[in-house]
Each structure stands twice: as structure tokens, then as C-alpha cells.
Amino acid sequence: MNESLFSLRGRRALVTGGAGPLGSVLADALAGQGCDVIISDVNAGACNDAAAAIADRHGVNAIGIASDLLSSEGTTRLVESVDGPLDVLVNNAAFTGTSGVPGYAVPFEEQSDEAFELASSLNLRAPFSLARQLAPKLAQSPGGSIINVSSIYGIVGPNMGLYEGTRMGNPAAYGATKGGVVQLTRYLSTVLAPKVRVNAFAPGGIARGQADSFTERYEKLTPLGRMATEDDFRGVVVWLASDASRYVTGQTIAVDGGWSAW
């Protein structure tokens, strides 16, 4: 395949959660192909630091925009802050299983309605709202693309045995909202076609210092025999943002080392 199909030079992307461990890598991967980037996260200093590092590393235009996507007002303020063209939207901001929200990553009987609603607002409402409000801008691009970040737990149910003897949990709200992202991706791919493509990718478990017992169990259930690193998702975000995937829409791609194949 012609390598130029992967070039993103002259394009501009917004990455939510862009100052976090995964979001910063996704933004860096896009910038590595010449894409200008907008880094959005809740902390202004972290946004600006991440944008400055990317600009220095890749010579692209990169800016940070602080935004609290937990509220509809915060989502709208982010949209209003995006001046100029936009070609790619990466909906990455989310509460994960280690986010520390009370009543969230605890045993099922202790999970709360409040935590479920909070996760739903960030994990599912925010991607919907950003896609809805930014769709007209994305439609003006010759390569408009929305990339939603789901999870393997948006595709399959949790294996709770992985967590035995650890302090980790698997919130119902996480799987429910990430499954919602999969269906939202299908929905948006049809209503925004043909001007905007909409796809998602579903990361497998990322190694972040989990308990050894968890890691060993997880790796035994993964055909490639290891947990992911953030760098494992560079290729898929570039592919989905670029013309290399120009005939792909409505898909959720599992990037999970084969976890969901068993």
C-alpha cells in the first residue's frame, strides 16, 4: 500500500482526554504523520504541556484546550473553542476501571446510580454531543473522520475471576457505556455518511502496574501472551484517521492481542 495514504499532513485533529496516558500517545501518533492537534483534557496545565511536547517533537501546530466534559455546558464550550477547520475527532476521554469514582469500581452490590450516571455522561453522552456539534465542521473536510475509543468490555462481558484477590474492579457502567460507544459508532456512521466516516477501536487491557496475579491470569487468556502498551494503538488511530481506511466506516476494531478471539 502506498505510504502516502497514511499521511495526515494538512489535517487537524481534536483528541479528548489527550493529556492522559492513552490520549497523549494517540495525539502523538497523529502528529507523527503531520497532523495538527488540539489536546483537550480537564487540566489546563497538562493540556498545554502535552501540546508543547508534541509541537516540539513533530513540528506541527498543537494547542491545548481545557474542558470538563462531564457537563453538557463543558462539551459545548469545547466545541465553541475549536476555531478553524477540523478533520478528525478522537473521542478518548472516559472513566476507566481505575478512575477512583466513589460507587464505581467496587463490587456490583456496592455500585451506585450516581456513579453510573457520572460514567454515562463522560463515556457516552460526551462522544455523542461532540459528534453532533462538530459534524458540520467535519463534513467540510475531504477526509472527515470520527474515531471513538471503546473497549473489549464493550464487546464481551467481564471475566470476574481475573480480579480475585486484588483490589481491582470491573464497573457495570464501564462495559455498558463502552458497549454504547460501539452502537453509537454504527449509528453515526450511517447518519453522517457519506461525508464523515465513523469508526471505533476497542483496546484490550493495558499494562499499568496491575497486581502480578491479575497480569498473569490476563496474559494466559491472551493469544499474543501479553497485555497491551499504549504504543500498540498508534497504528489503528493513524489508519482510521487517514485515507488508508477511506472505505471503512461503522466498524469497531478490537486491538486486544486476540483476547476476544477465545
Q: Active-site positions? A: 174
The β-bridge partners of 198 are 146
β-strand partners of 100: none
| 195-225 CB burial, b ≥16 within 10 A, e <16 | ebbbbbbbbbbeeeebeeebbebbeeebeee
Residues 6+ apart with CB under 8 A from 149: 22, 90, 91, 92, 94, 181, 200, 201, 203
For residue 202 the three cell numbers come to 476497542
Distance of alpha carbon 231 from alpha carbon 229, whole angstroms: 5
Question: Using CB atoms within 10 A of its CB, is residue 227 exposed (0-12), middle (13-18) or buried (19+)?
Answer: buried
C-alpha radius of gyration, the chain, whole number: 18
φ, ψ for residue 113 (rounded to 5)? Answer: -60, -35
H helix intervals, 140-233: 172-191, 212-220
